[in-house]
Amino acid sequence: MLTPSQEALLISSMAIATLAIRAVPIVMSGRIVLSDRMLQLLRYVPPVVLTAIIVPAVLIPDGQQVALTYTNPRLIGAIAAIGVGLWRNNLLLTIAIGMAVFFLWQAILAQL
């Protein structure tokens, strides 16, 4: 068990470390010149990271094995979201439909 002063020191240290990690790239951004090729490649980072987070969560819902079946409500919701996203190109609608299909499919499976 930590004492209050140890907790304060721990929280302060974590805050300083977080600030340093985030501040260094911002401070250095004016001094670093990236090539056009590097800037073009960096545009792919957000979609790649998001895909790396979402795909395992959808395909491995229990954390043990891949579930590519109709009994996986995450997969059904993701398929619906992808379809709506490609069809309408509306982020809010895509999220809403994906979540609605997920919860509806989960409720249907619970009744079986």
Structural domain boundaries, residue 92 = 45-111
User: Residue 8's pLDDT is what?
Assistant: 96
- The string of DSSP letters for 72-92 reads -HHHHHHHHHHHHHHHH--HH
pTM value?
Answer: 0.70
Separation of alpha carbons 28 and 22, rounded Å? 11
Residue 89, both tokens: 């190109």
Q: Could you tell me if residue 38 is inside a domain? A: no
pLDDT in tens, 14-52: 999 999 999 988 888 788 888 999 999 999 999 999 999
The verdict on 99 and 57 lying in the same domain is yes
Structure tokens at 10: 């721990």
Q: Does a structural domain hold residue 90?
A: yes
Q: How many domains does the chain have?
A: 2
Q: Which of 68, 59, 73, 58 is nearest to 112 (CA)?
A: 73
CA angle 30, 32, 37 (to 5 degrees): 120
Element (H, E) at 13: helix 4-28
- The per-residue pLDDT for 25 is 83
My answer on whether 56 and 103 are in the same domain is: yes
- Please report whether residue 39 resides in a domain: no
